[in-house]
Protein backbone atom coordinates (compact mmCIF):
# COMPACT_ATOMS: atom_id res chain seq x y z
CA UNK A 1 0.00 0.00 0.00
CA UNK A 2 1.28 3.49 -0.87
CA UNK A 3 2.26 5.63 2.16
CA UNK A 4 -0.43 8.25 1.45
CA UNK A 5 -3.23 5.70 1.10
CA UNK A 6 -2.02 3.74 4.13
CA UNK A 7 -1.99 6.82 6.37
CA UNK A 8 -5.35 8.03 5.07
CA UNK A 9 -6.82 4.65 5.98
CA UNK A 10 -5.28 4.78 9.48
CA UNK A 11 -6.54 8.35 10.03
CA UNK A 12 -10.04 7.32 8.99
CA UNK A 13 -10.06 4.70 11.74
CA UNK A 14 -8.53 7.03 14.32
CA UNK A 15 -11.07 9.77 13.61
CA UNK A 16 -13.82 7.40 14.75
CA UNK A 17 -11.95 6.30 17.89
CA UNK A 18 -10.27 9.51 19.11
CA UNK A 19 -12.11 12.41 20.75
CA UNK A 20 -12.80 15.21 18.24
CA UNK A 21 -10.78 17.64 20.36
CA UNK A 22 -7.63 15.55 20.22
CA UNK A 23 -8.08 14.48 16.61
CA UNK A 24 -8.55 18.01 15.28
CA UNK A 25 -5.76 19.42 17.44
CA UNK A 26 -2.99 16.85 16.99
CA UNK A 27 -3.59 14.79 13.83
CA UNK A 28 -3.95 17.39 11.05
CA UNK A 29 -0.80 17.72 8.86
CA UNK A 30 0.52 14.33 10.01
CA UNK A 31 1.72 12.01 7.24
CA UNK A 32 3.96 9.04 6.56
CA UNK A 33 7.24 10.39 5.21
CA UNK A 34 9.29 7.19 5.03
CA UNK A 35 8.80 3.42 5.04
CA UNK A 36 12.14 1.71 5.46
CA UNK A 37 12.84 -1.94 6.32
CA UNK A 38 10.99 -2.46 9.61
CA UNK A 39 10.22 1.14 10.49
CA UNK A 40 7.73 3.81 9.46
CA UNK A 41 8.43 7.50 9.97
CA UNK A 42 5.43 9.75 10.70
CA UNK A 43 5.74 13.51 10.41
CA UNK A 44 4.03 15.66 13.09
CA UNK A 45 3.34 19.39 12.85
CA UNK A 46 5.15 20.24 16.09
CA UNK A 47 6.69 18.73 19.21
CA UNK A 48 3.39 18.88 21.11
CA UNK A 49 1.68 16.72 18.50
CA UNK A 50 4.70 14.41 18.41
CA UNK A 51 4.65 13.97 22.18
CA UNK A 52 0.90 13.29 22.33
CA UNK A 53 1.02 10.75 19.49
CA UNK A 54 4.00 8.96 21.05
CA UNK A 55 2.49 8.76 24.50
CA UNK A 56 -1.17 8.09 23.73
CA UNK A 57 -1.59 6.67 20.28
CA UNK A 58 1.61 4.89 19.18
CA UNK A 59 0.25 1.42 20.08
CA UNK A 60 -3.04 2.05 18.27
CA UNK A 61 -1.24 3.36 15.19
CA UNK A 62 1.14 0.39 15.21
CA UNK A 63 -1.77 -2.07 15.38
CA UNK A 64 -3.77 -0.30 12.64
CA UNK A 65 -0.74 -0.35 10.32
CA UNK A 66 -0.14 -4.03 11.03
CA UNK A 67 -3.81 -4.82 10.28
CA UNK A 68 -3.46 -3.16 6.89
CA UNK A 69 0.00 -4.36 5.85
CA UNK A 70 0.32 -7.69 7.64
CA UNK A 71 3.70 -6.52 8.95
CA UNK A 72 4.75 -5.11 12.32
CA UNK A 73 6.66 -1.85 12.02
CA UNK A 74 8.50 0.30 14.54
CA UNK A 75 6.84 3.73 14.54
CA UNK A 76 9.07 6.81 14.59
CA UNK A 77 7.47 10.24 15.09
CA UNK A 78 9.39 13.23 13.72
CA UNK A 79 9.06 16.99 13.31
CA UNK A 80 10.92 19.43 11.09
CA UNK A 81 13.27 20.28 13.94
CA UNK A 82 13.36 16.94 15.73
CA UNK A 83 17.08 16.49 15.09
CA UNK A 84 18.17 19.55 17.05
CA UNK A 85 15.27 20.07 19.44
CA UNK A 86 15.40 16.78 21.33
CA UNK A 87 13.30 15.95 24.39
CA UNK A 88 12.66 17.92 27.57
CA UNK A 89 15.20 16.67 30.09
CA UNK A 90 14.35 16.79 33.78
CA UNK A 91 17.83 17.97 34.73
CA UNK A 92 17.89 20.77 32.14
CA UNK A 93 17.78 24.39 33.35
CA UNK A 94 14.33 25.98 33.43
CA UNK A 95 14.99 28.29 30.52
CA UNK A 96 17.12 26.07 28.27
CA UNK A 97 20.67 26.83 27.14
CA UNK A 98 20.48 27.77 23.46
CA UNK A 99 21.55 31.40 23.98
CA UNK A 100 17.91 32.22 24.65
CA UNK A 101 17.75 32.25 28.43
CA UNK A 102 18.09 36.04 28.70
CA UNK A 103 15.32 36.62 26.17
CA UNK A 104 13.04 34.11 27.86
CA UNK A 105 13.63 35.63 31.29
CA UNK A 106 12.78 39.03 29.80
CA UNK A 107 9.62 37.49 28.34
CA UNK A 108 8.56 36.19 31.74
CA UNK A 109 9.43 39.48 33.43
CA UNK A 110 7.36 41.37 30.87
CA UNK A 111 4.43 39.01 31.37
CA UNK A 112 4.22 39.95 35.03
CA UNK A 113 3.64 43.58 34.05
CA UNK A 114 1.11 43.16 31.24
CA UNK A 115 -2.60 42.49 31.42
CA UNK A 116 -2.39 39.67 28.87
CA UNK A 117 0.30 37.64 30.66
CA UNK A 118 2.05 37.07 27.33
CA UNK A 119 5.67 37.59 26.23
CA UNK A 120 6.91 40.67 24.40
CA UNK A 121 5.51 40.58 20.87
CA UNK A 122 6.76 42.13 17.67
CA UNK A 123 4.28 44.35 15.86
CA UNK A 124 4.42 45.48 12.26
CA UNK A 125 3.40 48.86 10.86
CA UNK A 126 -0.22 47.78 10.28
CA UNK A 127 -0.66 47.04 14.00
CA UNK A 128 -0.47 43.25 13.68
CA UNK A 129 1.40 41.10 16.18
CA UNK A 130 3.47 38.57 14.23
CA UNK A 131 3.35 35.91 16.95
CA UNK A 132 -0.43 35.60 16.68
CA UNK A 133 -1.00 33.20 13.79
CA UNK A 134 -3.07 30.16 12.86
CA UNK A 135 -0.16 27.78 13.45
CA UNK A 136 -0.03 28.42 17.20
CA UNK A 137 -3.79 28.74 17.75
CA UNK A 138 -5.06 25.63 19.58
CA UNK A 139 -8.35 24.44 18.08
CA UNK A 140 -11.06 22.70 20.11
CA UNK A 141 -14.84 22.36 20.30
CA UNK A 142 -15.02 25.77 22.00
CA UNK A 143 -13.61 27.71 19.04
CA UNK A 144 -13.73 25.45 15.96
CA UNK A 145 -16.44 27.40 14.12
CA UNK A 146 -14.69 30.75 14.66
CA UNK A 147 -11.35 29.24 13.61
CA UNK A 148 -12.77 27.64 10.45
CA UNK A 149 -14.48 30.84 9.35
CA UNK A 150 -11.33 32.86 10.17
CA UNK A 151 -9.22 30.57 7.94
CA UNK A 152 -11.74 30.91 5.11
CA UNK A 153 -11.76 34.71 5.44
CA UNK A 154 -7.95 34.82 5.38
CA UNK A 155 -7.83 32.68 2.24
CA UNK A 156 -10.44 34.71 0.37
CA UNK A 157 -10.66 38.23 1.88
CA UNK A 158 -13.58 40.37 0.83
CA UNK A 159 -15.50 37.49 -0.72
CA UNK A 160 -16.28 35.01 2.06
CA UNK A 161 -18.10 35.91 5.29
CA UNK A 162 -17.98 39.69 5.11
CA UNK A 163 -18.29 41.16 7.67
CA UNK A 164 -17.12 38.55 10.18
CA UNK A 165 -17.65 39.15 13.91
CA UNK A 166 -16.19 37.02 16.73
CA UNK A 167 -17.59 37.44 20.23
CA UNK A 168 -16.54 35.97 23.57
CA UNK A 169 -15.60 36.82 27.13
CA UNK A 170 -12.13 38.19 27.89
CA UNK A 171 -9.00 36.16 27.28
CA UNK A 172 -10.50 33.43 25.09
CA UNK A 173 -8.62 34.05 21.84
CA UNK A 174 -10.67 36.44 19.72
CA UNK A 175 -7.79 38.93 19.48
CA UNK A 176 -5.44 36.09 18.49
CA UNK A 177 -7.80 35.17 15.62
CA UNK A 178 -8.03 38.76 14.40
CA UNK A 179 -4.25 39.04 14.21
CA UNK A 180 -3.98 35.57 12.62
CA UNK A 181 -6.38 36.62 9.85
CA UNK A 182 -4.38 39.80 9.25
CA UNK A 183 -1.02 38.04 9.26
CA UNK A 184 -2.22 35.34 6.85
CA UNK A 185 -3.64 37.92 4.43
CA UNK A 186 -0.45 39.99 4.70
CA UNK A 187 1.63 36.90 3.91
CA UNK A 188 -0.41 36.05 0.81
CA UNK A 189 -1.12 39.64 -0.30
CA UNK A 190 1.80 41.86 0.80
CA UNK A 191 0.41 44.68 -1.33
CA UNK A 192 -2.86 44.83 0.65
CA UNK A 193 -3.40 47.73 3.03
CA UNK A 194 -4.36 46.21 6.38
CA UNK A 195 -5.34 48.15 9.50
CA UNK A 196 -5.77 46.62 12.95
CA UNK A 197 -7.09 48.80 15.75
CA UNK A 198 -9.24 48.54 18.85
CA UNK A 199 -12.58 50.25 19.30
CA UNK A 200 -10.94 52.46 21.92
CA UNK A 201 -8.17 53.49 19.50
CA UNK A 202 -10.76 54.36 16.84
CA UNK A 203 -12.63 56.48 19.38
CA UNK A 204 -9.45 58.19 20.65
CA UNK A 205 -8.18 58.96 17.15
CA UNK A 206 -11.52 60.48 16.21
CA UNK A 207 -11.58 62.65 19.34
CA UNK A 208 -8.04 63.83 18.59
CA UNK A 209 -8.96 64.59 14.97
CA UNK A 210 -12.02 66.57 16.06
CA UNK A 211 -9.96 68.49 18.63
CA UNK A 212 -7.32 69.36 16.03
CA UNK A 213 -10.07 70.51 13.69
CA UNK A 214 -11.49 72.85 16.32
CA UNK A 215 -8.07 74.15 17.32
CA UNK A 216 -6.31 74.42 13.98
CA UNK A 217 -9.18 74.46 11.51
CA UNK A 218 -9.34 72.15 8.52
CA UNK A 219 -11.19 68.82 8.25
CA UNK A 220 -10.97 65.25 9.52
CA UNK A 221 -10.29 64.01 5.99
CA UNK A 222 -7.06 62.26 7.02
CA UNK A 223 -8.88 60.37 9.76
CA UNK A 224 -11.58 59.23 7.33
CA UNK A 225 -8.99 58.19 4.74
CA UNK A 226 -7.12 56.04 7.26
CA UNK A 227 -10.15 53.78 7.61
CA UNK A 228 -11.51 53.88 4.07
CA UNK A 229 -8.45 53.73 1.82
CA UNK A 230 -7.64 50.15 2.91
CA UNK A 231 -8.30 46.53 1.89
CA UNK A 232 -8.75 44.90 5.30
CA UNK A 233 -10.06 46.41 8.55
CA UNK A 234 -9.64 44.44 11.76
CA UNK A 235 -11.30 46.14 14.73
CA UNK A 236 -11.08 44.64 18.22
CA UNK A 237 -13.57 45.26 21.06
CA UNK A 238 -15.97 47.13 18.82
CA UNK A 239 -18.54 47.36 21.66
CA UNK A 240 -16.57 50.35 22.98
CA UNK A 241 -18.12 52.64 20.35
CA UNK A 242 -21.67 52.00 21.64
CA UNK A 243 -23.34 55.07 23.14
CA UNK A 244 -20.95 57.47 21.36
CA UNK A 245 -22.99 59.29 18.74
CA UNK A 246 -20.17 60.97 16.77
CA UNK A 247 -18.02 57.84 16.92
CA UNK A 248 -20.84 55.62 15.65
CA UNK A 249 -21.53 58.04 12.79
CA UNK A 250 -17.91 57.90 11.60
CA UNK A 251 -17.74 54.15 12.15
CA UNK A 252 -20.90 53.64 10.10
CA UNK A 253 -19.48 55.76 7.28
CA UNK A 254 -16.19 53.80 7.18
CA UNK A 255 -17.91 50.43 7.55
CA UNK A 256 -20.40 51.14 4.76
CA UNK A 257 -17.72 52.43 2.40
CA UNK A 258 -15.55 49.33 2.87
CA UNK A 259 -18.46 46.91 2.70
CA UNK A 260 -19.79 48.36 -0.56
CA UNK A 261 -16.24 48.29 -1.96
CA UNK A 262 -16.02 44.57 -1.10
CA UNK A 263 -13.17 45.13 1.36
CA UNK A 264 -12.83 42.66 4.23
CA UNK A 265 -14.08 43.69 7.68
CA UNK A 266 -13.41 41.55 10.77
CA UNK A 267 -14.59 42.59 14.22
CA UNK A 268 -14.55 41.28 17.76
CA UNK A 269 -16.85 42.03 20.67
CA UNK A 270 -17.40 40.85 24.23
CA UNK A 271 -21.02 39.93 23.40
CA UNK A 272 -23.41 39.24 20.54
CA UNK A 273 -24.26 42.40 18.52
CA UNK A 274 -27.90 42.19 19.56
CA UNK A 275 -26.80 42.42 23.22
CA UNK A 276 -24.63 45.54 22.89
CA UNK A 277 -26.59 48.30 24.58
CA UNK A 278 -26.76 51.72 22.88
CA UNK A 279 -25.37 50.40 19.60
CA UNK A 280 -27.21 51.92 16.64
CA UNK A 281 -29.58 49.42 15.08
CA UNK A 282 -28.27 50.15 11.60
CA UNK A 283 -24.77 49.14 12.76
CA UNK A 284 -25.98 46.05 14.64
CA UNK A 285 -27.98 44.91 11.60
CA UNK A 286 -24.91 45.23 9.37
CA UNK A 287 -22.87 43.09 11.74
CA UNK A 288 -25.52 40.39 11.40
CA UNK A 289 -25.43 40.57 7.59
CA UNK A 290 -22.24 38.54 7.60
CA UNK A 291 -21.06 35.74 9.88
CA UNK A 292 -21.20 35.89 13.67
CA UNK A 293 -19.34 33.21 15.67
CA UNK A 294 -18.71 32.86 19.39
CA UNK A 295 -15.76 31.42 21.30
CA UNK A 296 -16.51 29.46 24.48
CA UNK A 297 -14.19 28.60 27.33
CA UNK A 298 -11.70 25.84 26.41
CA UNK A 299 -12.21 22.40 27.91
CA UNK A 300 -9.45 20.69 29.89
CA UNK A 301 -7.99 18.92 26.82
CA UNK A 302 -7.58 22.20 24.97
CA UNK A 303 -6.18 23.93 28.07
CA UNK A 304 -3.61 21.15 28.40
CA UNK A 305 -2.66 21.48 24.72
CA UNK A 306 -2.23 25.25 25.12
CA UNK A 307 0.15 24.76 28.06
CA UNK A 308 2.18 22.11 26.24
CA UNK A 309 2.46 24.38 23.23
CA UNK A 310 3.65 27.23 25.47
CA UNK A 311 6.21 24.91 27.09
CA UNK A 312 7.53 24.02 23.64
CA UNK A 313 7.68 27.64 22.47
CA UNK A 314 9.67 28.75 25.55
CA UNK A 315 11.75 25.55 25.89
CA UNK A 316 10.89 25.26 29.57
CA UNK A 317 11.42 22.11 31.64
CA UNK A 318 8.07 21.38 33.27
CA UNK A 319 6.48 17.92 33.33
CA UNK A 320 3.09 16.87 31.95
CA UNK A 321 1.71 16.12 35.40
CA UNK A 322 2.25 19.73 36.48
CA UNK A 323 0.70 21.08 33.28
CA UNK A 324 -2.31 18.82 33.86
CA UNK A 325 -2.62 20.22 37.39
CA UNK A 326 -2.63 23.80 36.09
CA UNK A 327 -5.08 22.96 33.29
CA UNK A 328 -7.49 21.27 35.71
CA UNK A 329 -7.45 24.13 38.19
CA UNK A 330 -7.47 27.18 35.91
CA UNK A 331 -10.67 27.11 33.89
CA UNK A 332 -11.57 30.79 33.54
CA UNK A 333 -9.81 31.87 30.35
CA UNK A 334 -6.61 31.45 28.33
CA UNK A 335 -5.11 34.66 29.64
CA UNK A 336 -5.27 33.45 33.24
CA UNK A 337 -4.15 29.97 32.19
CA UNK A 338 -0.97 31.39 30.65
CA UNK A 339 -0.58 33.69 33.64
CA UNK A 340 -0.69 30.70 35.99
CA UNK A 341 1.93 28.92 33.85
CA UNK A 342 4.20 31.96 34.12
CA UNK A 343 3.65 32.20 37.88
CA UNK A 344 4.64 28.56 38.41
CA UNK A 345 7.76 28.79 36.25
CA UNK A 346 8.86 32.10 37.77
CA UNK A 347 8.28 30.85 41.32
CA UNK A 348 10.28 27.65 40.65
CA UNK A 349 13.16 29.62 39.17
CA UNK A 350 13.18 32.13 42.03
CA UNK A 351 13.20 29.32 44.61
CA UNK A 352 15.78 27.32 42.60
CA UNK A 353 13.52 24.25 42.51
CA UNK A 354 11.92 22.18 39.77
CA UNK A 355 8.66 23.38 38.27
CA UNK A 356 6.54 20.48 39.54
CA UNK A 357 3.13 20.04 41.17
CA UNK A 358 4.50 21.03 44.58
CA UNK A 359 5.83 24.29 43.13
CA UNK A 360 2.53 24.87 41.29
CA UNK A 361 0.53 24.49 44.51
CA UNK A 362 2.79 26.95 46.30
CA UNK A 363 2.83 29.47 43.43
CA UNK A 364 -0.92 29.43 42.87
CA UNK A 365 -2.07 28.90 46.44
CA UNK A 366 -3.25 32.43 47.13
CA UNK A 367 -4.07 33.68 43.68
CA UNK A 368 -5.83 32.18 40.70
CA UNK A 369 -6.65 28.71 42.00
CA UNK A 370 -8.39 30.09 45.07
CA UNK A 371 -10.03 32.97 43.21
CA UNK A 372 -13.54 31.55 43.58
CA UNK A 373 -13.03 31.18 47.31
CA UNK A 374 -13.15 34.96 47.77
CA UNK A 375 -15.85 36.19 50.11
CA UNK A 376 -18.37 37.33 47.50
CA UNK A 377 -21.39 39.03 49.07
CA UNK A 378 -24.76 37.53 48.00
CA UNK A 379 -26.16 40.98 47.17
CA UNK A 380 -23.34 41.43 44.67
CA UNK A 381 -24.41 38.26 42.85
CA UNK A 382 -28.00 39.52 42.67
CA UNK A 383 -26.89 42.96 41.50
CA UNK A 384 -24.55 41.73 38.75
CA UNK A 385 -27.08 39.26 37.32
CA UNK A 386 -29.74 41.98 37.24
CA UNK A 387 -27.36 44.40 35.55
CA UNK A 388 -26.38 41.78 32.96
CA UNK A 389 -30.02 41.15 32.02
CA UNK A 390 -31.02 44.83 32.32
CA UNK A 391 -33.43 44.24 35.20
CA UNK A 392 -34.14 46.04 38.45
CA UNK A 393 -33.41 44.11 41.65
CA UNK A 394 -37.04 44.53 42.70
CA UNK A 395 -38.14 42.67 39.56
CA UNK A 396 -36.31 39.41 40.41
CA UNK A 397 -37.48 39.68 44.02
CA UNK A 398 -41.06 40.42 43.01
CA UNK A 399 -43.93 38.16 41.88
CA UNK A 400 -43.49 38.44 38.08
CA UNK A 401 -43.12 35.10 36.31
CA UNK A 402 -42.39 36.14 32.73
CA UNK A 403 -39.53 34.43 30.91
CA UNK A 404 -37.48 37.65 30.99
CA UNK A 405 -37.50 37.58 34.81
CA UNK A 406 -37.71 33.84 35.66
CA UNK A 407 -34.46 32.84 33.91
CA UNK A 408 -32.28 35.53 35.59
CA UNK A 409 -33.96 34.68 38.92
CA UNK A 410 -33.05 30.99 38.50
CA UNK A 411 -29.49 31.90 37.51
CA UNK A 412 -29.20 33.97 40.70
CA UNK A 413 -30.37 30.93 42.69
CA UNK A 414 -27.80 28.72 40.95
CA UNK A 415 -24.92 31.17 41.50
CA UNK A 416 -25.81 31.85 45.14
CA UNK A 417 -25.60 28.12 45.74
CA UNK A 418 -22.42 27.59 43.70
CA UNK A 419 -20.40 30.66 44.71
CA UNK A 420 -21.77 31.51 48.16
CA UNK A 421 -22.86 28.01 49.23
CA UNK A 422 -26.01 29.50 50.78
CA UNK A 423 -28.72 27.20 52.16
CA UNK A 424 -31.90 26.97 50.08
CA UNK A 425 -33.96 28.74 52.74
CA UNK A 426 -31.55 31.69 52.84
CA UNK A 427 -31.59 32.01 49.02
CA UNK A 428 -35.39 32.00 49.15
CA UNK A 429 -35.48 34.79 51.74
CA UNK A 430 -32.99 36.86 49.70
CA UNK A 431 -35.19 36.56 46.61
CA UNK A 432 -38.46 37.80 48.07
CA UNK A 433 -39.23 35.10 50.69
CA UNK A 434 -39.61 32.28 48.19
CA UNK A 435 -40.16 28.71 49.31
CA UNK A 436 -37.07 26.47 49.44
CA UNK A 437 -38.72 24.02 46.99
CA UNK A 438 -38.97 26.86 44.44
CA UNK A 439 -35.27 27.55 44.91
CA UNK A 440 -34.44 23.86 44.57
CA UNK A 441 -36.44 23.69 41.32
CA UNK A 442 -34.73 26.82 39.95
CA UNK A 443 -31.23 25.49 40.68
CA UNK A 444 -32.15 22.11 39.18
CA UNK A 445 -33.48 23.82 36.06
CA UNK A 446 -30.21 25.67 35.41
CA UNK A 447 -28.14 22.53 36.11
CA UNK A 448 -30.27 20.66 33.59
CA UNK A 449 -29.75 23.35 30.95
CA UNK A 450 -25.99 23.28 31.51
CA UNK A 451 -25.92 19.48 31.33
CA UNK A 452 -27.81 19.62 28.03
CA UNK A 453 -25.24 22.09 26.63
CA UNK A 454 -27.47 25.16 26.41
CA UNK A 455 -24.69 27.37 25.00
CA UNK A 456 -26.55 30.66 25.59
CA UNK A 457 -27.00 29.97 29.31
CA UNK A 458 -23.47 28.56 29.57
CA UNK A 459 -22.04 31.70 28.02
CA UNK A 460 -24.17 34.02 30.16
CA UNK A 461 -23.18 32.29 33.42
CA UNK A 462 -19.54 32.24 32.38
CA UNK A 463 -19.51 36.00 31.70
CA UNK A 464 -21.47 36.83 34.86
CA UNK A 465 -19.15 34.73 37.06
CA UNK A 466 -16.15 36.43 35.51
CA UNK A 467 -17.63 39.86 36.25
CA UNK A 468 -18.50 38.86 39.85
CA UNK A 469 -15.08 37.38 40.59
CA UNK A 470 -13.01 40.07 38.85
CA UNK A 471 -14.63 43.16 40.36
Counting residues of the chain whose pLDDT is more than 90, the rounded percentage is: 26
Residue 70 predicted with pLDDT over 80? yes
Q: Which of 351, 372, 393 is the last residue of a domain?
A: 372
Highest mean pLDDT: which of 176-190, 215-229, 319-333? Answer: 176-190
Global pTM reads 0.54
Q: Return phi, psi of residue 103, to 5°.
A: -60, -45
- Please indicate, yes or no, whether residues 280 and 348 belong to a single structural domain of this protein: no
Residue 85 predicted with pLDDT over 60? no
- Please indicate, yes or no, whether residues 72 and 183 belong to a single structural domain of this protein: no
pLDDT in the model for residue 89: 25
Higher pLDDT, 17 or 12: 12
Q: Which of 39, 68, 85 is the last residue of a domain?
A: 85
- Does 107 map to a domain? no
- Please indicate, yes or no, whether residues 318 and 178 belong to a single structural domain of this protein: no
**pLDDT band with cut points at 50, 70 and 90 for residue 234:** very high
Range of the domain at 277: 144-294
**pLDDT band with cut points at 50, 70 and 90 for residue 29:** confident
Residue 84 predicted with pLDDT over 80? no
pLDDT tens digits, residue range 31-44?
999 998 889 999 98
Number of domains in the chain: 4
What does the mean pLDDT of the chain come to? 80
pLDDT in the model for residue 411: 95
- Please indicate, yes or no, whether residues 203 and 74 belong to a single structural domain of this protein: no
Q: Which of 260, 294, 328 is the last residue of a domain?
A: 294
List the CATH number of the domain containing 66: 3.30.300.180
- Please indicate, yes or no, whether residues 399 and 361 belong to a single structural domain of this protein: no
- Please indicate, yes or no, whether residues 349 and 418 belong to a single structural domain of this protein: no
Angle at 294 between CA 290 and CA 297, to 5 degrees: 170
- Does 98 map to a domain? no
Over range 425-433, report the average pLDDT. Answer: 90
- Does 105 map to a domain? no
**pLDDT band with cut points at 50, 70 and 90 for residue 315:** confident
pLDDT tens digits, residue range 251-297?
999 999 999 999 999 999 988 888 888 888 889 888 888 888 888 88
List the CATH number of the domain containing 422: 1.10.1750.10
pLDDT in the model for residue 317: 87
Over range 16-30, report the average pLDDT. Answer: 70
pLDDT in the model for residue 120: 39
Residue 45 predicted with pLDDT over 80? no
Amino acid sequence: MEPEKLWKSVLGELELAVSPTYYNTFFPSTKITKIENESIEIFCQNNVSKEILQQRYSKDIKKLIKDRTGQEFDIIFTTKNSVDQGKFITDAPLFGNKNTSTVREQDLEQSRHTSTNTPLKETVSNGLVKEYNFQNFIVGPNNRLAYTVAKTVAENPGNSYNPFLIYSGVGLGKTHLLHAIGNEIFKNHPDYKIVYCTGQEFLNDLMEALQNTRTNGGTIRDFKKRFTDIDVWLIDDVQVIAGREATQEEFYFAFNHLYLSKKQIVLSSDRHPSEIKKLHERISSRFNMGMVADVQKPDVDVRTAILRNKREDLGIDIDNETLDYIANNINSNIRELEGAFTQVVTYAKAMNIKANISAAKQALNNSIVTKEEKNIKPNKVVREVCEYYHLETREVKGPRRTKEVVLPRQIIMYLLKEINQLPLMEIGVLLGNRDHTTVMYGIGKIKSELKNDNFKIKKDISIIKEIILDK
